[in-house]
Amino acid sequence: MSPCLNSDRTPHNRELNMKIGIVCYPTYGGSGVIATELGNGLAKKDYKIHFITYSQPARLDFFNENLYYHEVDFRNYPLFQYAPYELALASKMVEVAQFEQLDLLHVHYAIPHASAAFMAREILKTKGINIPVITTLHGTDITLVGKDPSYEPVVTFSINQSNAVTAVSESLKQDTYEHFDVNKDIYVIPNFIDLKRFNKLSKDHFRKAICPDDEKLIVHTSNFRKVKRVEDVLAVFKGVNAVVKCKLLLVGDGPERTRIENLCRETGDCNDIRFLGKLEAVEEVLSVSDLFLMPSEKESFGLAALEAMACEVPVISSDAGGIPELNIDGESGFVCKIGDVKDMTEKALHVLKDENLSRFKKGALNRAKKFDIHKILPMYEEVYEQTLAENMKTLGV
Ligand code: GMT
């Protein structure tokens, strides 16, 4: 069968009503959030968006006529120690692409989405359907898990086989070239924020309950993995609290939470620290906070810090990965060396001084505005247009 496009719509119509399959992790992680918000944003612009994943994405809990959700049904069998998710995902991509006449597949987080998409694309070719695959690299798929020898050959292959590749920061792009034998151009498209949702809300009653004696409020949100260095958050908080009375809110959950909770019980700091667990309306907490801490060991962009900045919260961060592309030293907060809790504490005290705080709050908001969803979404649209045009050229259309 000769190669052909998936639908007989003209290129003009194709631009207006592009049908896109988005594959992502549906959990609270940053890659899933970006993929879901991207899909939501595109749906508002009349694209038809088909999410393909193993459960309903966390931020996809409303109705929109342009949004569709296809659940990957993966079954176990006594012979398998682990259910082969990647195969079920590839099969679902084939099914959805074929029956919904998708124009392209956009996968978020390389493992295992890029290799599953490669498989789906090749299967579709045998059915006379030729659609391109775009892979967005998010961070640990490159900097941690992906470069592990147990995954590296497949990650390298599936990046090189993607029709287009994007990365969420210049730093992640460079890491990809450093750790993998990649011969493709990588487009840098930073994370973005919906400023209609993330802005400073008036939640003073909440602040009064947490800080009854007008203490300063420090916040950290993460998935409590080792790379987040949450123990550094505790150390900085202890140092700051010794000079300026403050409270610490820890939002999120993950493998390190129990250890961190035990640590703060041992040091006796628990009275001033609250673990809030996973929170859907994180913007409400950010709205009453004075300072955000992100001391990560690895961080390709730092979406959680961007969410804080949009709510006018300055950031004290490490200089890991792409964070310096977001947090501007001396403007939106400060950038310190990974693990330098002394410097982080000093910088935090500087920001929290009454004469400095409002300047840093403004600086944080101004920086966040650069990553407004309305500025970043067109960058993805451009990659879609270009990739489709290249695909058509290859097919001689
Ligand atoms: O932070 C995490 O561990 C979650 C992870 C993910 O893929 O879900 O986040 C990564 O992608 C985000 C969205 O692009 C980035 O903002 C985060 O910086 C990045 N995390 C790391 O690189 C550790």
Closest CA to 366 of 336, 333, 334: 333
> Is the distance from CB of 176 to CB of 136 less than 8 angstroms?
no
Kindly state if the Cβ of 31 falls inside 6 Å of ligand 1.
yes
Query: Left, alpha or beta for 129 (phi > 0: left; psi -120 to 50: alpha)?
Result: beta
The pLDDT assigned to 395 comes to 87
Within-domain flag for 132: yes
pLDDT digits (tens, 9 = 90+) for 63-115: 889 999 999 998 888 889 888 999 999 999 999 999 999 999 999 999 999 99
> Is the CB of 34 within 6 Å of ligand 1?
yes
Residue 241 lies in domain:
204-369
Averaged pLDDT score across all residues of the chain? 92
* Whether the CB of 303 sits within 6 Å of ligand 1: yes
For atom 9 of ligand 1, which residue has the closest CA? 30
Helical H runs in 180-321? Answer: 204-210, 230-241, 257-266, 282-287, 303-310
Look up the CATH number of the domain holding residue 224.
3.40.50.2000
Which pLDDT score is estimated for 4? 37
The stretch 252-263 carries a mean pLDDT of 94
Q: Per residue in 349-361, pLDDT tens? A: 999 999 999 999 9
> Within this chain, do residues 104 and 244 fall inside the same structural domain, yes or no?
no
How many angstroms separate the CA atoms of 361 and 262, rounded? 32
Give exposure, 223-239, as e/b (b: 16+ Cβ within 10 Å). Answer: bbbebbbbbbbbbbbbb
**Are residues 223 and 139 part of one domain?**
no
Residues 281, 268, single domain; the answer is yes
Average pLDDT (376-380) is: 98
Ligand 1, atom 12, residue with closest C-alpha: 30
In the chain, the amino acid numbered 226 is K
> Is 387 within 8 Å of 134 (Cβ atoms)?
yes
Q: Output the residue whose Cα is nearest ligand 1's atom 23.
A: 299
- 145 with 213, same domain: the answer is no
